Amino acid sequence: MYQVASKALLKPRTWAPSGVRPKVAHNVVMLGFVSLLTDISAEMVATVLPLYLVFSLGANPLVLGAIDGTYRGAAAIVQVLSGLVSDRWHRHKEVAETGYGLSALCKVALVAVGSSIGAIGALVAVDRVGKGIRTAPRDALISLSSSKAGLATAFGVHRAMDSAGAMLGPLIAFGILLAAPARFDAIWVVSTMFALLGLAVLVLAVQGRPARAPRPDSARPSLRSALGLVGDRRFRLLLVAACALALVSVSDALIYVGLQRRIDFEPAVFPLLFVVTALVYMALAIPVGQLADRFGRVRVLIAGHALLLLVYGALLLPSLGFAPLCACLVAMGAYFAATDGVTTALAGAVLPERLQASGIGILTTAVSLGQLASSVVFGALWYSIGLEQAVVVFAAALIVALLATAPLLIRSQREPLGG
Amino acid sequence: MGSRQRRVLAAIVAVCIVIGAGYVIAAAFGPSDVNTDAQPRAAGGASVPAGAELIVRGVDPGDPRLNGQIFVLERGHAEKIPGSDLACERVYFSAGRGLCMAVAPSGVEYEATVFDSSLQPVKRLGLTGLPSRARVSPDGRYGAMTVFVAGHAYLSGGGFSTTTTLVDMRAGKEIAQLEQFEVLRDGQPFDAVDFNFWGVTFAKDPNTFYATLHTGDRYYLVEGNVRERTMRVLRDGVECPSLSPDGTRIAFKSRIGDENRWHLEVLDLDTLSAHRLAEDRSIDDQAEWLDDDTLAYSYGHDVYSVPADGSGNPQLLLRDASSPVAL
């Protein structure tokens, strides 16, 4: 634990995807495995929980929607707090462990109290809080383990592994139910095993004090200085730009409903749209991250949003064939690859080491609030003036936002914030 | 990571794999069936209305999610048709054609079966979600199925939506989703991202149907036309409509406040005004008309009946049964 100084002198162990540079720190790959295992565990449960509630427990599916919606807001607040706490006491790994541990505990509890709807509601809530707690310190650890030149690649590697887990989870869950029909308890047990594995990798294989981490004896940032980030001009530029872009970006789910209205495809195909997009995202996350590190993160972020603009355009076409639909899905996957991890990398590059978790927590929360608002506004526009008109409004807003935020983003990256 | 940590991690991996795989293997070879043999029991002293014949689904009170076998109720006794092993989650039948929505043998998928008057399967259709409502038009020409599609979060995040599909019962093929129909409200086209349809009921002219359209906090009763693929909004506050045999009234569930609790009501199609029925419990079912004066519905694991004019009291018809269908 206290070998920081000597560790920093040693060349950090690295892992490079097929010999491409820049190299990715061992710690990032380990954190990728933690997320992969945890996402397998979470998505296994998330996929079958509605079926379980309705069929085994006779619940109304509305219950689950209400449970989920209520605690999203709570998770956003927890995210900011956990970032602050991580920085304040130099305890990124411990805070992340608390978050992952809480979620693992929920899976264990599911095995124990799985037949009470009220208890499941509470577990879903605690699980969300766990997710809120772990995100900021984990992303800060990824950032602090990587060289500034390789930040987007590092986040790309993590996001690729993370979404691989999210895709494997449902497959494993359905595989279990195929082998043992209607035995939901087997899913809870296997999910618990994956959650514990993820936690074990975090505890045993992840470095708590990576290369760029502030020395443990360095001054503790006060909560005020962490919150003061919002007042710092350059971080605020990034915050405003990311939030504005989120606000004018229509969520994938809404885009797919729009495409469905356009093309009239079978509803059974609908979930496949998400699968294809996730596959493209997974495949492109690393190369797009490398691209961002080499040719500029802001450029890649803006190019990603330009792809989203193309998808908006497809929503305005009178009809859409199979090939253009596929192109839309690829564009959506590439858009995610060019925006999700890259935005965090932009923050990681400008934030001082001692305030990484706080800043990332604040940024992630702002972006998700922007996304939430965008969905509400787009839904309201669709309701009041129609789908095409809503898309036109959002396309115009996206163009304006891109023109307005590009200079802000470039300025925010020019020099790091004062420590 | 030191060698000690590596050994601990390897041990944890091994233990987790053994527990997880062991549990799944044990579950795979353990008892697991998606069907039940549970048999409905006639309620002591229940008076089955004269001439009423019913089809019901047996419910296993210990595990109500299991597909229940289909029984025909005659002379107050629930009897199984010999040679049929049809088992459903929801069932409906009319004019020689039936629709059975069930958990597929895998236990995680759902399927619908079109069956004939000897309860033999004619055609199978895949379902994209959890069975909710099934209806067949009085002449047996069209069928309608509503499923819950969980996880398609459009606005609320992790919410739910429904899909209602119309089926050509002769060909055993899907015709369309109600989501594809054009909707008019006060003569104006009406559309929103959060449209959900459920609970179809057909008129004697099978091109005419009624259903619920949910958008925002509204639960509209819509009147639709299968051939023209249109619907128009009639009034608010009507879920799971069920048209009376004489075609003049609609029984429905009326939401109590914002909660998921409902009263049974009957509305007059001429005036669109409604009255409550003499059932004080919350009923989550699409009611079935036994005749022009009596309704049947599921509550808990049992089937009850109540007069349609608001008089009288609920009567227990059958224990361990659901999905009543008047023949």
pLDDT in tens, A50-96: 667 766 665 655 555 555 545 566 677 788 899 999 998 889 999 99
Cα first-last separation, chain B: 72
The model's pLDDT over B246-263, given as tens digits with 9 standing for 90+, comes to: 999 999 999 988 777 899
What's the number of CA atoms in the CB half-sphere (13 Å) around residue B33?
Answer: 9
* Domain membership flag for residue B322: yes
The model's pLDDT over B195-244, given as tens digits with 9 standing for 90+, comes to: 899 999 999 998 999 999 999 889 999 999 999 999 999 999 999 999 99
Q: State the average pLDDT for chain A.
A: 85
- Whole-model pTM? 0.71
State the nearest Cα–Cα gap between B61 and chain A, in angstroms.
11
Flag if B191 and A387 touch (Cβ within 8 Å): yes
Range of the domain at B118: 3-38+53-326
State the nearest Cα–Cα gap between B67 and chain A, in angstroms.
10
Q: Which of A34, A37, A183, A251 to mutate to test the interface with B (most CBs of B within 10 A)?
A: A183
For residue B110, the cross-strand partners are B103, B127
Q: Which residues on chain B are in Cβ contact (under 8 Å) with A50?
A: 130, 148, 150-151, 160
Flag if B154 and A257 touch (Cβ within 8 Å): yes
* Domain membership flag for residue B44: no
Flag if A190 and B20 touch (Cβ within 8 Å): yes
Do residues A374 and A366 touch, judged by C-beta distance below 8 A?
no
Instruction: Please compute the mean of the pLDDT values over residues A290-303 and round it to a whole number.
Output: 95
* Domain membership flag for residue B11: yes
Write down the pLDDT at residue B160. 61
Q: State the average pLDDT for chain B.
A: 87
State the nearest Cα–Cα gap between A415 and chain B, in angstroms.
35
pLDDT band at residue B187 using 50, 70 and 90 as cut-offs: very high
Residue A382 forms contact with B (CB below 8 Å) = yes
* Domain membership flag for residue B23: yes
Write down the pLDDT at residue A180. 82
CA nearest B104 in A: which residue? A181
Flag if B284 and A268 touch (Cβ within 8 Å): no
Q: What is the dihedral of CA A348, A351, A352, A358, to 10 degrees?
A: -90
CA angle B307, B309, B310 (to 5 degrees): 80
State the nearest Cα–Cα gap between B292 and chain A, in angstroms.
30
The Cα A264–Cα A352 span in angstroms is 50
* Domain membership flag for residue B232: yes
Chain A to chain B Cβ contacts (< 8 Å): 160
Q: What is the domain count for chain B?
A: 1
Instruction: Please compute the mean of the pLDDT values over residues B185-198 and round it to a whole number.
Output: 90
* Domain membership flag for residue B174: yes
Q: Which residues on chain B are in Cβ contact (under 8 Å) with A117?
A: none
* Domain membership flag for residue B213: yes
Residue B306 has pLDDT above 50, yes or no: yes
* Domain membership flag for residue B46: no
Write down the pLDDT at residue A36. 97
Contacts of A264-268 with CB under 8 Å at 24 or more apart are A264/B180, A265/A325, A267/B128, A267/B149, A267/B163, A267/B177, A268/B126, A268/B128
CA angle B158, B159, B162 (to 5 degrees): 135
The model's pLDDT over B85-124, given as tens digits with 9 standing for 90+, comes to: 888 989 999 998 999 999 887 666 789 999 998 888 999 9
CA nearest B182 in A: which residue? A261
User: For B155, which of A183, A186, A375 is closest by C-beta distance?
Assistant: A375
Residue B63 has pLDDT above 80, yes or no: no
Flag if B148 and A54 touch (Cβ within 8 Å): yes
Residue % of chain B over a pLDDT of 70: 90
Contact map slice: A 19-58 vs B, CB within 8 A: 46-48, 50-51, 54-56, 58
Q: Which residues on chain A are in Cβ contact (under 8 Å) with B130?
A: 50-51, 54-55, 61
CA nearest A376 in B: which residue? B155
Write down the pLDDT at residue B251. 97
CATH number of the domain enclosing B104: 2.120.10.30
The Cα A208–Cα A80 span in angstroms is 20
The model's pLDDT over A128-154, given as tens digits with 9 standing for 90+, comes to: 889 999 999 999 999 999 999 999 999
Q: Which of A45, A254, A383 to mutate to test the interface with B (most CBs of B within 10 A)?
A: A383
State the nearest Cα–Cα gap between A380 and chain B, in angstroms.
8
User: For B108, which of A72, A177, A386 is closest by C-beta distance?
Assistant: A177
Q: Of the candidates B40, B46, B150, which has an alpha carbon nearest to the alpha carbon of residue B91?
A: B40
Cα first-last separation, chain A: 24
State the nearest Cα–Cα gap between B320 and chain A, in angstroms.
15
Give the helix, strand, coil percentages of chain B, each rounded to 5. Answer: 10, 50, 40
